[in-house]
Structure 1
Amino acid sequence: MSVTGRILTTPALQTGPVPDTGPVRKGNRTVHRLRMVEDALQRAQALMAQWDEELRRELPQGAGIFDAHTHLGTDIDGMVGVYEDLERGMDKYGISRCFMFCLDEPDRHPGFRAGNDRTLAFAERSKGRMIPFVRLDLAEDPIGEATRILDRGGRGIKLHPRAQKFLLNDERLSPIFELAAERKVPILIHGGRGLPPIADDLARVADRYPEARLIVAHAGIADLAALADRLGGKAGVYFDTSVWSPLDLLGLYRLVGPEQVVYASDYPYGQQPASLLIALRTARLAQLDEQQVRGVLAGNANRIAGGEPPLTPSAPKGIETFQQPMSLARIHQYLSMATPLLWTRQPDRIGVLGLALNATHDRTNGHREELDQIRELLTAAQAMWLTLPDDADERDRVAHMRATFRLIHLADIVAVTTPA
C-alpha cells in the first residue's frame, strides 16, 4: 500500500472475468463470486474509513454540527431510517443534535398519527438530541394532528408536497403557517425533485406569516433561482444542504447569504462522509470564511432550535463563474451518466464508469493527487457494481447498490470541488 497525498492508494482491483483454465464446477464458481463480493465490500469499507479521516481533517477545529434534516422509520419506497444507525452516526461524526421526523410510512393514514407518535418516542429516547417534527397530510386533519404533537413536545412541522400530492397554492397551507407562527416553530418543506415551480406560491404564504421560520429542503433545487430571488435576504428563511450535486450548492451560495443555509444530511437517503464533505467543500469553494462555515454547520440551526431571532442575511459570497480542469469536467459528466444507471440497478453497458476511470490518467492538469483519489474510489466502485448480486435478498441488494453509489458520489465531489 502506498500513499498519495493524504489518501491511501492501493493497486487496482481485478474487476474483469477470471480466465477460464478448464472445466469449473458450478459450486466453485459460486464460491469465487462470493469471494469477489466480499473482497469488493471490504475494499469499499476501507475506503470509507479513509475518507472519514479526510473529513475530520477538513472540519474546522472544534466545530459543532447540527443536522437539520433526518428521518426515522420506514418509507413506502423501501428506505429505512434506524434509530441506532442515526445515533451511531451522530456520535461518530460529532453531530450534537438534529431535526427528525418520520418517512412516508406504510401506516401513514390517518394523518401520520402512528409515525408521529414514533417520532416523539425516538426524541424522548435520544434525551433531546433528536428534535421531533410533526409530519402532516393536508387531506387528513393537519391542524388537529399538528396541535396534538406540538402539545406533546413536537418542535417543528414537516411538509412534503410531492409525497402528499399538494401544490403550494393550496389554501390549506395558510392555517399551518399561522399555527407555526403562533407556536414559534419552524416548517421544513420539501424543495427537491418532483415539483413544479414553487417559488411564487411559497413566498406568498411565507410573507404572510413572517414569524414562521421556514427551511426549504434540498437547497430548493426544484426552483432554485426563483426561490432565491423571492426568499433570498429574508431573515428566518433557510435552505438546507441535502443535495447530491455539488453544483447545486455552488448555485445556492451565489444566490443567498450564508446565514440562510443550514447543514442537512437527509438521513437515511444522505450518508456520511459525503454529506458533510459536500457541504464543507462547496462552502469553501464559494469563499465562505470560517465563521460562516461554522454557521452553516451548526450556528444557524442552533438559532432555529433555540427560538433565537435569525441573523440578518449578508450578501451572497458564491462564485459567479465555475471553472474546472477539463479532465475533472469529463469525470463529472461520466459520473452523472453512471448515477441513474446505478440507481435503477442496471449494468454499465455503456461503459461510462470505465470512461471516467480512463480520464483519471490525464496528468496534464496538475491535479495528480485528486485524480489518484478519484481513481481509487472508482476502481472500488467498479468492483462493487460488477458484483451486484442478482439473487440476494432485496435489502442486501439495496445496501450493495448504496455502498457503490457512496463511492461514486465521493469521487464526483472531489471532481467538482477541486479548484481549477
Structure 2
Amino acid sequence: MYADHLLQPWYDRLLDDLPALEPLDVHTHVGQRDPSGITASVEELLGALGAARARALVFPLSEPDGYRAANRACLEAALTSEGRLTALVRVVPDESDAVEGLLDRGAAGLKLHLSGDGVDLDDPRLAPVWALADERRLPVVVHAGPEVGVLADRVLAASARWPGARLVLAHCGLAALGRLHRHVPDHPNLFFDTSWWTPAHLLGLFRLVPPGRVLAASDLPYSTPVSHLMATARCAWQAGLGREQVASVLGGQAARLVAGLDATDLGPPPTEEVRRPGPFLEMASSNLLAALEAVQRGLEPGVPLDVARHACDVPDDDPDAAVLASVRTLLDAYEEHRSRLPRRNGFGPGWDLLAAAAVVARTPAAPLPRLG
C-alpha cells in the first residue's frame, strides 16, 4: 500500500536490532463509505500487515448510517484472518445494545470517536458499555485528534471510574497531552497510541510518558504499519528507549492488553535524547514536514523540498553526513517513483517517502539500512 515497498529497508533495519517480536498495530480501519472519501479494504490492510510482518486491531471507518453492519463485517474479517486481525467495536450510544454480543463472538475491545461520531465519554447511555470494558479489562481506543475540545478531565474521570478498562488515547493524545502527562503515573490504565505523523509529537510522547504506556499505531489508511511503525521505532530510539522498551512499544505491551494481562512496567520516560540532530538535519526535517503537508492535500511539495535537498548537500566529514545521505536516498526515490505510484485517498503519490525522510532527518540516533 502506498510506497511501502520502497520504505522496507528502513523498517527492516529497525527490526533487526530488536528482540524477536510480532509487531501489533493498535489502530487501523477498514471501510468504503467514510464521508471524507478515505477508504481501505480488508485486502489492503492484510497486504500492508504482511509487509510489516505484523498483526493489527481493526475497526470501521466512519459509516453515515451507523455501525451495526460495519462492526459485524469487521468482526467477520477478523475471525477469518488467521489471527492477523483483532476487531474492536466502534461504539455510538444508540447502538450500545449490540456491543456485548460482538464481544461474546470475539471482538476484543471498543473504539470511541469523540468528534466523528459526536460521542461524549461521560454519556450515561455508554455506562453499560464502560461496565463491560471494566469487567473484561478491554482496551478502549479513544480518538484524541486536534479537533477534539476539552478532554483531559473527562479522560481522568473515566480512567478512575472504570479502572479495569484500558483507555488508549489515539494520535499521541495530542488534544490533552499537556494536561494529562503528569497524571499518567496515578492512572495505570491510561495509554497512548502513536498514530500521528510529526516526529515532534512522537518524540514528545516518549519524553513525557513512560514507555510502558505507549503503543505503536499507524491509523491505516492514513498511514501504513511499515511507514508508521518505522517512524515510531526511530523516534523511540532517538528519545532514549532501550531495545526491550522499543519492542514493547511495537507490540509487546499491546499483546498483553489484548490478552487481558497486566501491563508491564518498563520504567520512567528517558530524560534526554540520545543524540542531538545537527543544524542540517533540522533544516531538512522542518522543510520536509512543510512539503509533506502540501503533498498530503494532493498538491506539489514546492520550494520546501528544494530547501531540504540543499540541506542534504554536505561534505563527507560532516557529523551527520550518513543520515543526510539516507534522507537524500528517500528523496531520490520520491522523484523517481512518484509518477508511477498509485494515487490513493487524495494523497499525492510518494507522500510517505517524504514523511519517512522527515523522520529519518530528525532521528540520527536510530540505525540506518545499508543501501547501494
Name the TM-score, length of structure 2 as normaliser. 0.88
Contact 2:71 2:90 in 1 (8 A): yes
The answer to whether the Cα contact below 8 Å between 2:282 and 2:362 also exists between their aligned partners in 1 is yes
CA distance in structure 2 between the aligned counterparts of 1:52 and 1:303, rounded to whole angstroms = 27
Q: Residues 312-365 of structure 1: CA distance to partner in whole angstroms, max 9, x if unpaired?
A: 46222252798321111111221222222222223345x121111111113374
Q: State the shift of 1:93 in Å.
A: 2.0
Structure 2 residue corresponding to 1:160, chosen from 113, 119, 123 = 113
Please name the residue that 2:310 is paired with: 358
Please say if residues 64 and 294 of structure 1, whose CA atoms lie closer than 8 Å, have aligned partners that are also in contact. Answer: no
Kindly indicate whether residue 55 of structure 2 is the aligned counterpart of residue 109 of structure 1: no
**Residue 22 of structure 1 corresponds to which residue in structure 2?**
none
Please state whether the residue corresponding to 2:82 is helix, strand or coil: coil
Would you say the 8 A contact 2:240–2:273 is kept in 1? Answer: no
- Residue identity in the other structure for 2:158: V
* Residues in 2 aligned to 1:325 and 1:267: alpha-carbon distance in whole angstroms: 32
Q: Read off the aligned partner of 2:261 and give its amino acid letter.
A: E
Alpha-carbon contact 1:200-1:230 (below 8 Å) kept:
no
1:99 matched to 2:67: no
Give me the whole-angstrom Cα distance separating, in 1, the residues matched to 2:346 and 2:91.
Answer: 32
- Aligned-pair CA distance for 1:383: 5.8
The 5-angstrom pairing of residues 126-141 of structure 1 reads 126-138=81-93, 140-141=94-95
1:89 is aligned to 2:64: no
Distance 2:273 2:360 in 1: 20
Q: Distance in 2 between matches of 1:65 and 1:293?
A: 11
Contact 2:195/2:228 (<8 A) preserved: yes
Q: CA deviation at 1:64?
A: 2.4
Task: Give the counterpart letter for 2:270 in structure 1.
Answer: K
Counterpart amino acid of residue 404 in structure 1: G
Match in the other structure for 1:299: 252
What secondary structure sits across from 1:187 in the alignment? strand
Shift of 1:286: 1.8
Match of 2:237 among 274, 278, 284: 284
What CA distance in whole angstroms lies between the structure 2 residues aligned with 1:115 and 1:294? 32
Match of 2:78 in 1: 123
Residues 37, 345 of structure 2: 8 Å contact kept: no
Name the residue aligned to 1:72. 30
- Residues 1:155 and 1:319: Cα distance change in structure 2 (over 3 Å): same
1:194 is aligned to 2:147: yes
SS at match of 1:242: coil
Q: How far has the Cα of 1:256 moved from its partner? A: 1.5
* Aligned pairs (5 A) from 1:182-331: 182-232=135-185, 234-312=187-265, 314-319=267-272, 323-331=276-284
Amino acid in the other structure paired with 1:80: T
2: CA distance between counterparts of 1:230 and 1:320? Answer: 23
Q: Deviations over 1:354-395 (max 9, x none)?
A: 11111111337422222122223224435666x599xxxxxx
Q: Deviations over 1:258-304 (max 9, x none)?
A: 11111212122122432121111111112212221221122211111
Q: Is the 2:79–2:106 contact (alpha carbons within 8 Å) kept by the matching residues of 1?
A: no
Equivalent position to 1:415, from 350, 361, 364:
361
Counterparts in 2 of 1:137-152, with a 5 A limit? 137-138=92-93, 140-141=94-95, 143-152=96-105
Q: In the alignment, residue 412 of structure 1 is paired with which amino acid? A: A
Q: Tell me if structure 2 keeps the 8 A contact 1:119–1:132.
A: yes
Contiguous gaps of at least 5 residues in structure 1:
1-43, 390-395
Corresponding pairs, count: 361
Q: CA deviation at 1:118?
A: 0.5
Looking at structure 1, the residues matched to 185 and 201 of structure 2 have their Cα atoms a distance apart, in angstroms, of: 16
1-structure distance, mates of 2:195, 2:227: 10
* Partners of 2:170 and 2:194 within 8 A in 1: yes
Take 1:320 and 1:371, find their aligned partners in 2: how far apart are those partners?
Answer: 19
Quote how far apart the aligned CAs of 1:417 are.
Answer: 0.6
- Name the % identity: 31
TM-score (norm. length: structure 1): 0.79
Measure, in 1, the Cα distance between the counterparts of 2:273 and 2:347.
35
CA RMSD of aligned residues (A): 2.6
Does the CA-based 8 Å contact 1:67-1:99 persist in structure 2? Answer: yes
2:358 is equivalent to residue 406 of structure 1? no
Q: How far is the alpha carbon of 1:401 from its aligned partner?
A: 3.5
Task: Pick closer, same or farther for the CA change 1:175–1:213 going to 2, 3 Å.
Answer: same
Deviations 1:31-50 (A, max 9, x none): xxxxxxxxxxxxx96xx545
CA contact (8 A) 1:388 1:401 kept: no
> Using the alignment, how far apart are the partners of 2:347 and 2:201 within structure 1?
23
Distance 1:400 1:173, change over 3 A: closer
How far apart, in 1, do the equivalents of 2:265 and 2:13 lie? 31
- The 5 Å alignment of 1:332-351 reads 332-348=285-301, 351=303
**Are the structure 2 counterparts of residues 291 and 72 from structure 1 closer, same or farther at C-alpha, using a change threshold of 3 Å?**
same
